[in-house]
Amino acid sequence: MSYDLVVRGGLVVSASGVFDADVAVAGGRIAAVGAGLAPGAHELDASGLYVVPGAIDGHVHLNDPTFPPHATFTADDFATGTRAAAFGGVTTVIDFAQPEVGQPLLDGLDARLADAAGEAVIDYALHLNVRDPDPARAEEIPGVFARGVPSFKLYMSYPGYRIPDEAIFRAMCRIAEGEGLAVLHAENDDVIAVRSAALAAQGRTGPRWLAEACPPEGEAEAVHRAIALAGLARARLLVFHLSCGEAAREVALAKRAGRAVWGEVTSHGLVFDAAVRETGDLRAQSFAVRPPIREAPQREALWSALVRGEIDIVSSDHCPRVAREDSHPAGVSGIETRLALVHHFGVGGGVIDLPRWVEVCASAPARIHGLDRKGRLEPGADADIVLFDPLREVELSPQALHSALPFSSYEGIVVRGFPVVTISRGEVIVQGGEFVGAAGRGRFVERGR
């Protein structure tokens, strides 16, 4: 027997272990993993490299209409954003369909699918944002399931996105009926509004005061409330971008009680602390994300929760918004850097081991988000494979990266370890520092529930 492609001589890293093996590909799927495999029509030498499943980023914003009141746009569309992702070892992303208030959910889904069609170079899926509290929108959720979109984002904050608890609960009930997944931005918006007004009255405005306006206790209360609502609805819940130990503790308590609740942390939440917002320049304004990047002890609490399994996945929340002359809307890049950053600071820093790195960046996102053929190097899975050089050093400058964003959120950081080859469904699409795949080759993935 011969194969289409064989990756030979690498150290295979999976969520369950590390071992020397070759990986064979046939028909876009992994055909065999082991020693002494038959020849392939094409072969890659992975000596000295890690062979890992393609990373999955379950939280990106490409060609995003942005939050009010920023009359701006994101630098990356599906073409440029997914190309950058491929250079960073990402083979699947999940973006968002964002129906307008008053717009039928399926109309919003169709519009978003049209944005991506023929543009993405890696595979992609969508969450659907439920921004409209009208009960009619919740009744449309089963129709979205039928289109292969089983996850729905709900907001407890931001004007134009936030919906009241009754609408969140109503949506969760419909999501539970379809065995889908609720994904949620959890903050107590009322607390933030009152504290922001009080700070503004004292002249304390701008990014440096953001964490003061958004206390950890307010985030933890919102996470607790979201978990309670999901429990009443019997819905599965993933809480996005946890930013503090208090919020992670709420997820941990729910897990111990046997609840179907998971937590996500962002790569910037694991790398930075509040000092990044205090330089006063436009780039500092881009770090004024919510929930906020907090003080260094909170960053360490997030790492600890990731180690203990209380936080399950790391995403980029890539939102590369373009600056205007006088201001910069909040949004951190990271679609290309996440896999390397978690390796550098996590594995390189002695915080997590190689299997946990693969688990939080690939295997757990695939499992939680219903990507049944992704995130694992096993026969029958999609042949999404990354060859990762643990010794390659890359400075995360805009010149070295491939996003259309004119700056890098991680500029000045040098990581040790970076992808050198990316394979998507058996096709080599990044090799030798070049993108060698076809434009628009990415496929929309209808996900299971």
Same-domain check for residues 101 and 46: no
Tell me the H-state helices in 88-238: 105-116, 135-139, 141-145, 165-177, 189-201, 210-213, 216-233
Is 254 within the bounds of a domain? yes
Smallest CA-to-CA distance from 338 within 355, 363, 313 is with: 313
Same-domain check for residues 49 and 99: no
Same-domain check for residues 102 and 62: yes
What total of structural domains would you count in the chain?
Answer: 2
Neighbours of 67 (CB within 10 A): 18
3-state SS of the chain: helix, strand, coil percent to 5?
A: 35, 25, 40
DSSP letter, residue 319: -
Same-domain check for residues 349 and 208: yes
Same-domain check for residues 309 and 422: no
Residue with tokens 């971008």: 241
Residue 268: CATH number of its domain: 3.20.20.140
Is 396 within the bounds of a domain? no
Same-domain check for residues 256 and 328: yes
Q: Is 129 left (phi over 0), alpha (psi -120 to 50) or beta?
A: beta
Same-domain check for residues 150 and 265: yes
Is 410 within the bounds of a domain? no
Is 180 within the bounds of a domain? yes
Is 204 within the bounds of a domain? yes
C-alpha–C-alpha distance, residues 445 and 377, integer Å: 18
Same-domain check for residues 325 and 206: yes
Same-domain check for residues 187 and 241: yes
- What's the domain range around 286? 55-368
Tokens of 390: 């643990």
Write out the chain's pLDDT in tens, 449 residues: 789 999 999 999 999 999 999 999 999 999 999 999 999 999 999 999 999 999 999 999 998 765 554 456 788 999 999 999 999 999 999 999 999 999 999 999 999 999 999 999 999 999 999 999 999 999 999 999 999 999 999 999 998 899 999 999 999 999 999 999 999 999 999 999 999 999 999 999 888 899 999 999 999 999 999 999 999 999 999 999 999 999 999 999 999 999 999 999 999 999 999 999 887 666 778 898 999 999 999 999 999 999 999 999 999 999 988 876 666 788 899 999 999 999 999 999 999 999 999 999 999 999 999 999 999 999 999 999 999 999 999 999 999 999 998 889 999 999 999 999 999 999 999 999 999 999 999 999 999 76
Same-domain check for residues 385 and 350: no
- Measure Cα distances from 320 to 114, 202, 268, 292, 328 in Å: 21, 31, 13, 17, 11
Same-domain check for residues 98 and 149: yes
pTM of the model: 0.96
- Note whether 231 and 280 are within 8 A (CB): no
Same-domain check for residues 158 and 261: yes
